[in-house]
Amino acid sequence: MGKLRENIKQYGRRFSQLIAAVLYNCNFKGFLSGKIYKGESKGLCVPGLNCYSCPGAVFACPLGSLQGALAKTAIKIPMYMLGTIILFGVLFGRLICGFLCPFGLVQELVYKIPGFKIKKSRITKTLSYLKYVILGVFVIAIPIIKMLPGFCKYICPAGSLEAAIPLVILDEQLRSRLGWLFSWKMFLLLVCVILCVICYRAFCRFLCPLGALYSFFNPIAFFGINVDKEKCTGCNACISACKMDTKKVGDHECVHCGACRDVCPEGAISYKRH
Amino acid sequence: MKNRKKIIGIIVLLLALGLITAGIMDGGLFEVKTKAVTICQECIGLG
Protein backbone atom coordinates (compact mmCIF):
# COMPACT_ATOMS: atom_id res chain seq x y z
CA MET A 1 0.00 0.00 0.00
CA GLY A 2 2.87 2.34 0.86
CA LYS A 3 4.56 1.56 -2.45
CA LEU A 4 1.33 2.21 -4.35
CA ARG A 5 1.01 5.57 -2.62
CA GLU A 6 4.64 6.34 -3.50
CA ASN A 7 4.02 5.41 -7.16
CA ILE A 8 0.90 7.56 -7.31
CA LYS A 9 2.88 10.42 -5.80
CA GLN A 10 5.67 9.96 -8.32
CA TYR A 11 3.73 9.22 -11.51
CA GLY A 12 0.22 10.51 -10.73
CA ARG A 13 0.72 13.84 -12.44
CA ARG A 14 2.28 12.31 -15.56
CA PHE A 15 -0.57 9.79 -15.71
CA SER A 16 -3.12 12.59 -15.43
CA GLN A 17 -1.39 14.55 -18.23
CA LEU A 18 -1.39 11.46 -20.46
CA ILE A 19 -5.04 10.64 -19.76
CA ALA A 20 -6.01 14.26 -20.52
CA ALA A 21 -4.04 14.22 -23.80
CA VAL A 22 -5.69 10.96 -24.90
CA LEU A 23 -9.20 12.00 -23.81
CA TYR A 24 -8.96 15.35 -25.60
CA ASN A 25 -7.73 13.62 -28.78
CA CYS A 26 -9.54 10.28 -28.89
CA ASN A 27 -10.80 10.59 -32.48
CA PHE A 28 -7.97 8.26 -33.52
CA LYS A 29 -9.29 7.61 -37.03
CA GLY A 30 -8.86 11.32 -37.73
CA PHE A 31 -5.09 10.82 -37.64
CA LEU A 32 -5.43 8.38 -40.53
CA SER A 33 -8.07 10.16 -42.60
CA GLY A 34 -6.90 13.74 -42.06
CA LYS A 35 -10.49 14.79 -41.32
CA ILE A 36 -11.37 16.62 -38.11
CA TYR A 37 -14.11 15.46 -35.73
CA LYS A 38 -17.51 17.17 -36.21
CA GLY A 39 -19.57 15.73 -33.33
CA GLU A 40 -21.65 17.56 -30.73
CA SER A 41 -18.86 17.47 -28.11
CA LYS A 42 -16.99 20.08 -30.15
CA GLY A 43 -19.22 22.70 -28.53
CA LEU A 44 -17.50 22.03 -25.20
CA CYS A 45 -14.04 23.28 -24.32
CA VAL A 46 -11.29 21.34 -22.60
CA PRO A 47 -9.40 23.15 -19.83
CA GLY A 48 -5.92 22.73 -21.37
CA LEU A 49 -4.37 24.09 -24.56
CA ASN A 50 -5.40 21.64 -27.30
CA CYS A 51 -6.05 22.75 -30.87
CA TYR A 52 -9.57 21.96 -32.12
CA SER A 53 -8.22 21.47 -35.61
CA CYS A 54 -6.11 18.56 -34.45
CA PRO A 55 -7.53 15.55 -36.36
CA GLY A 56 -7.91 13.70 -33.05
CA ALA A 57 -9.56 16.51 -31.07
CA VAL A 58 -13.10 15.78 -29.89
CA PHE A 59 -13.53 19.01 -27.90
CA ALA A 60 -12.85 22.70 -28.55
CA CYS A 61 -9.77 24.69 -27.57
CA PRO A 62 -10.63 27.28 -24.88
CA LEU A 63 -8.19 29.84 -26.25
CA GLY A 64 -9.22 29.49 -29.89
CA SER A 65 -12.90 29.60 -28.92
CA LEU A 66 -12.36 32.66 -26.73
CA GLN A 67 -10.66 34.52 -29.58
CA GLY A 68 -13.44 33.45 -31.96
CA ALA A 69 -16.04 34.75 -29.50
CA LEU A 70 -14.15 37.99 -28.84
CA ALA A 71 -13.98 38.63 -32.59
CA LYS A 72 -17.80 38.91 -32.45
CA THR A 73 -17.81 41.28 -29.45
CA ALA A 74 -19.29 44.05 -31.58
CA ILE A 75 -22.37 41.87 -32.14
CA LYS A 76 -22.67 40.26 -28.69
CA ILE A 77 -20.90 39.68 -25.38
CA PRO A 78 -19.05 36.31 -25.37
CA MET A 79 -20.80 35.10 -22.19
CA TYR A 80 -20.44 31.36 -22.80
CA MET A 81 -16.68 31.50 -23.34
CA LEU A 82 -16.04 33.97 -20.53
CA GLY A 83 -18.07 31.75 -18.20
CA THR A 84 -16.19 28.63 -19.30
CA ILE A 85 -12.75 30.20 -18.74
CA ILE A 86 -13.83 31.62 -15.36
CA LEU A 87 -15.28 28.23 -14.33
CA PHE A 88 -12.06 26.35 -15.15
CA GLY A 89 -10.02 29.08 -13.48
CA VAL A 90 -11.98 29.24 -10.25
CA LEU A 91 -12.11 25.46 -9.90
CA PHE A 92 -8.49 24.62 -10.68
CA GLY A 93 -6.42 27.74 -11.47
CA ARG A 94 -3.05 26.76 -12.92
CA LEU A 95 -3.43 23.21 -11.65
CA ILE A 96 -4.73 22.77 -15.22
CA CYS A 97 -1.27 23.70 -16.58
CA GLY A 98 0.40 21.10 -14.39
CA PHE A 99 -2.09 18.24 -14.74
CA LEU A 100 -4.46 18.70 -17.67
CA CYS A 101 -2.54 20.40 -20.48
CA PRO A 102 -1.26 18.18 -23.33
CA PHE A 103 1.13 20.89 -24.49
CA GLY A 104 2.53 21.07 -20.96
CA LEU A 105 3.20 17.34 -21.19
CA VAL A 106 4.97 17.80 -24.54
CA GLN A 107 7.17 20.52 -23.02
CA GLU A 108 8.07 18.38 -20.01
CA LEU A 109 8.99 15.41 -22.21
CA VAL A 110 11.11 17.60 -24.49
CA TYR A 111 12.92 18.99 -21.43
CA LYS A 112 14.07 15.43 -20.65
CA ILE A 113 16.40 15.57 -23.66
CA PRO A 114 19.84 15.84 -22.06
CA GLY A 115 22.02 18.88 -22.66
CA PHE A 116 22.55 22.46 -21.54
CA LYS A 117 19.80 23.71 -19.22
CA ILE A 118 18.89 27.25 -18.17
CA LYS A 119 17.85 27.56 -14.53
CA LYS A 120 15.36 30.10 -13.28
CA SER A 121 16.82 33.52 -12.67
CA ARG A 122 15.87 37.17 -12.51
CA ILE A 123 15.78 37.17 -16.34
CA THR A 124 13.34 34.24 -16.56
CA LYS A 125 11.21 35.85 -13.85
CA THR A 126 11.03 39.05 -15.89
CA LEU A 127 10.30 37.10 -19.08
CA SER A 128 7.42 35.32 -17.33
CA TYR A 129 5.41 38.56 -17.59
CA LEU A 130 5.60 38.42 -21.40
CA LYS A 131 2.63 36.03 -21.46
CA TYR A 132 0.40 38.79 -20.05
CA VAL A 133 1.41 41.06 -22.93
CA ILE A 134 0.60 38.25 -25.39
CA LEU A 135 -2.75 37.74 -23.67
CA GLY A 136 -3.59 41.44 -23.94
CA VAL A 137 -2.40 41.95 -27.52
CA PHE A 138 -2.97 38.66 -29.36
CA VAL A 139 -5.90 37.11 -27.46
CA ILE A 140 -7.91 40.21 -26.55
CA ALA A 141 -6.94 43.28 -28.63
CA ILE A 142 -6.35 41.74 -32.08
CA PRO A 143 -9.54 39.59 -32.04
CA ILE A 144 -11.66 42.56 -30.93
CA ILE A 145 -10.08 45.16 -33.25
CA LYS A 146 -9.12 43.07 -36.29
CA MET A 147 -11.73 40.34 -35.81
CA LEU A 148 -9.26 37.51 -36.22
CA PRO A 149 -7.70 35.04 -33.76
CA GLY A 150 -4.31 36.74 -33.35
CA PHE A 151 -2.70 34.15 -31.12
CA CYS A 152 -3.82 31.17 -33.24
CA LYS A 153 -2.75 32.91 -36.43
CA TYR A 154 0.65 34.29 -35.50
CA ILE A 155 1.94 32.33 -32.50
CA CYS A 156 0.22 29.15 -31.28
CA PRO A 157 2.79 26.31 -31.46
CA ALA A 158 0.16 23.84 -30.22
CA GLY A 159 -1.85 24.48 -33.38
CA SER A 160 1.28 24.04 -35.50
CA LEU A 161 2.18 20.77 -33.81
CA GLU A 162 -1.25 19.20 -33.30
CA ALA A 163 -3.12 20.51 -36.35
CA ALA A 164 -0.84 21.94 -39.03
CA ILE A 165 1.68 19.09 -39.21
CA PRO A 166 -0.78 16.14 -39.32
CA LEU A 167 -3.28 17.91 -41.61
CA VAL A 168 -0.63 19.10 -44.04
CA ILE A 169 0.89 15.61 -44.19
CA LEU A 170 -2.50 13.98 -44.81
CA ASP A 171 -4.19 16.57 -47.06
CA GLU A 172 -2.67 17.33 -50.45
CA GLN A 173 -5.03 20.24 -51.09
CA LEU A 174 -3.86 22.00 -47.93
CA ARG A 175 -0.24 21.32 -48.89
CA SER A 176 -0.68 23.17 -52.15
CA ARG A 177 -1.86 26.33 -50.31
CA LEU A 178 1.05 26.74 -47.90
CA GLY A 179 2.73 30.14 -47.71
CA TRP A 180 4.80 32.43 -45.51
CA LEU A 181 2.46 32.12 -42.51
CA PHE A 182 2.94 28.36 -42.36
CA SER A 183 6.73 28.81 -42.59
CA TRP A 184 6.59 31.43 -39.81
CA LYS A 185 4.55 29.12 -37.57
CA MET A 186 6.88 26.19 -38.20
CA PHE A 187 9.85 28.43 -37.37
CA LEU A 188 8.16 29.48 -34.11
CA LEU A 189 7.40 25.85 -33.26
CA LEU A 190 11.04 24.95 -33.81
CA VAL A 191 12.19 27.85 -31.62
CA CYS A 192 9.70 26.75 -28.97
CA VAL A 193 10.95 23.15 -29.02
CA ILE A 194 14.59 24.26 -28.75
CA LEU A 195 13.69 26.62 -25.90
CA CYS A 196 11.83 23.82 -24.13
CA VAL A 197 14.87 21.53 -24.39
CA ILE A 198 17.05 24.03 -22.54
CA CYS A 199 14.45 25.72 -20.35
CA TYR A 200 11.75 23.95 -18.31
CA ARG A 201 8.25 24.58 -19.78
CA ALA A 202 9.53 27.63 -21.65
CA PHE A 203 6.32 28.20 -23.63
CA CYS A 204 4.19 27.77 -20.52
CA ARG A 205 6.33 30.18 -18.48
CA PHE A 206 6.93 32.94 -21.00
CA LEU A 207 4.33 32.79 -23.75
CA CYS A 208 1.14 30.89 -22.88
CA PRO A 209 -1.83 33.28 -22.59
CA LEU A 210 -4.08 30.51 -21.26
CA GLY A 211 -1.74 30.03 -18.30
CA ALA A 212 -1.76 33.82 -17.90
CA LEU A 213 -5.57 33.78 -17.75
CA TYR A 214 -5.69 30.95 -15.22
CA SER A 215 -2.98 32.60 -13.10
CA PHE A 216 -5.46 35.32 -12.10
CA PHE A 217 -7.56 32.64 -10.43
CA ASN A 218 -4.73 30.85 -8.57
CA PRO A 219 -5.34 32.70 -5.29
CA ILE A 220 -9.05 31.76 -5.16
CA ALA A 221 -9.06 28.38 -6.97
CA PHE A 222 -10.88 25.60 -5.11
CA PHE A 223 -8.28 22.92 -5.79
CA GLY A 224 -4.51 23.19 -5.65
CA ILE A 225 -1.45 23.10 -3.52
CA ASN A 226 -1.64 24.53 -0.05
CA VAL A 227 0.88 25.49 2.65
CA ASP A 228 0.16 24.82 6.31
CA LYS A 229 1.44 28.10 7.73
CA GLU A 230 1.74 26.64 11.22
CA LYS A 231 4.15 23.93 10.04
CA CYS A 232 6.13 26.13 7.62
CA THR A 233 9.50 27.29 8.96
CA GLY A 234 10.27 29.51 5.95
CA CYS A 235 13.33 27.46 4.91
CA ASN A 236 12.54 28.12 1.21
CA ALA A 237 13.40 24.54 0.16
CA CYS A 238 10.11 24.65 -1.79
CA ILE A 239 11.08 27.66 -3.90
CA SER A 240 14.57 26.25 -4.52
CA ALA A 241 13.04 22.99 -5.83
CA CYS A 242 10.46 24.75 -8.02
CA LYS A 243 11.42 24.99 -11.70
CA MET A 244 8.78 27.64 -12.45
CA ASP A 245 9.32 31.33 -11.72
CA THR A 246 7.48 31.29 -8.42
CA LYS A 247 8.17 33.66 -5.57
CA LYS A 248 6.03 31.64 -3.16
CA VAL A 249 4.09 28.37 -3.27
CA GLY A 250 0.73 28.81 -5.02
CA ASP A 251 1.43 32.23 -6.54
CA HIS A 252 0.51 33.18 -10.12
CA GLU A 253 3.41 31.20 -11.61
CA CYS A 254 2.70 27.99 -9.64
CA VAL A 255 1.36 25.10 -11.77
CA HIS A 256 0.77 22.96 -8.66
CA CYS A 257 3.14 20.24 -9.90
CA GLY A 258 3.96 19.17 -6.34
CA ALA A 259 7.78 19.39 -6.62
CA CYS A 260 7.73 21.59 -3.49
CA ARG A 261 5.63 19.08 -1.57
CA ASP A 262 8.23 16.37 -2.16
CA VAL A 263 11.08 18.42 -0.69
CA CYS A 264 9.37 20.16 2.22
CA PRO A 265 11.18 18.90 5.35
CA GLU A 266 8.21 19.80 7.57
CA GLY A 267 5.53 18.17 5.40
CA ALA A 268 3.77 21.53 5.37
CA ILE A 269 2.71 21.38 1.70
CA SER A 270 -0.19 19.28 0.48
CA TYR A 271 -2.89 19.11 -2.17
CA LYS A 272 -6.04 20.38 -0.65
CA ARG A 273 -9.52 21.53 -1.45
CA HIS A 274 -9.35 25.17 -0.36
CA MET B 1 -8.56 35.72 5.12
CA LYS B 2 -9.20 32.10 4.15
CA ASN B 3 -12.95 32.56 4.56
CA ARG B 4 -12.84 35.70 2.45
CA LYS B 5 -11.07 33.81 -0.36
CA LYS B 6 -13.67 31.05 -0.10
CA ILE B 7 -16.53 33.52 -0.36
CA ILE B 8 -14.92 35.26 -3.35
CA GLY B 9 -14.38 31.84 -4.94
CA ILE B 10 -18.04 30.89 -4.49
CA ILE B 11 -19.22 34.24 -5.91
CA VAL B 12 -16.93 33.83 -8.95
CA LEU B 13 -18.13 30.25 -9.42
CA LEU B 14 -21.76 31.37 -9.40
CA LEU B 15 -20.90 34.16 -11.83
CA ALA B 16 -19.26 31.64 -14.16
CA LEU B 17 -22.27 29.32 -14.03
CA GLY B 18 -24.56 32.26 -14.69
CA LEU B 19 -22.49 33.38 -17.67
CA ILE B 20 -22.41 29.86 -19.10
CA THR B 21 -26.19 29.49 -18.75
CA ALA B 22 -26.82 32.90 -20.32
CA GLY B 23 -24.25 32.15 -23.01
CA ILE B 24 -25.86 28.84 -23.93
CA MET B 25 -29.28 30.51 -24.21
CA ASP B 26 -27.64 33.16 -26.38
CA GLY B 27 -26.28 30.54 -28.81
CA GLY B 28 -22.69 30.52 -27.50
CA LEU B 29 -22.43 26.72 -27.40
CA PHE B 30 -23.60 26.48 -31.01
CA GLU B 31 -21.11 29.15 -32.10
CA VAL B 32 -18.19 27.36 -30.43
CA LYS B 33 -19.22 24.12 -32.08
CA THR B 34 -19.61 25.77 -35.49
CA LYS B 35 -16.09 27.19 -35.26
CA ALA B 36 -14.57 23.97 -33.91
CA VAL B 37 -15.96 21.65 -36.60
CA THR B 38 -14.34 23.53 -39.46
CA ILE B 39 -10.58 23.46 -39.99
CA CYS B 40 -9.13 26.61 -38.45
CA GLN B 41 -7.11 28.17 -41.29
CA GLU B 42 -5.23 30.41 -38.85
CA CYS B 43 -4.23 27.50 -36.61
CA ILE B 44 -2.57 25.65 -39.46
CA GLY B 45 -0.96 28.75 -40.93
CA LEU B 46 -3.17 29.36 -43.96
CA GLY B 47 -5.34 32.18 -42.66
B1–A contact, CB cutoff 8 A: no
Q: Which of A71-75, A188-192, A222-226, B27-31 has the lowest mean pLDDT?
A: A71-75
pLDDT at A205: 97
Q: What residue of B is the nearest CA neighbor of A72?
A: B31
B11–A contact, CB cutoff 8 A: no
Which residue among B18, B38, B43 places its CB closest to the CB of A152? B43
Q: Does the pLDDT value for residue A1 go beyond 60?
A: no
Task: Give the C-alpha distances (Å, rounded to integers) separating A108 from A162, A199, A221.
Answer: 16, 10, 24
Which residue among A65, A76, A181 places its CB closest to the CB of B35? A65
Which residue among B13, B37, B44 places its CB closest to the CB of A159? B44
- Chain A residues in contact with B14 by the CB 8 A cut-off are none
* CA-based nearest distance A63→chain B, Å: 11
Q: What is the pTM of this model?
A: 0.94
Residue range A138-191, pLDDT digits in tens: 999 999 999 999 999 999 999 999 999 999 999 999 999 899 999 999 999 999
Put simply, the answer to whether B36 touches A221 (Cβ < 8 Å) is no
Put simply, the answer to whether A72 touches B31 (Cβ < 8 Å) is yes
Average pLDDT, chain A: 94
- Chain B residues in contact with A186 by the CB 8 A cut-off are 45
Which residue among A42, A159, A222 places its CB closest to the CB of B43? A159
Residue A76: which pLDDT band, with cuts at 50, 70 and 90?
confident
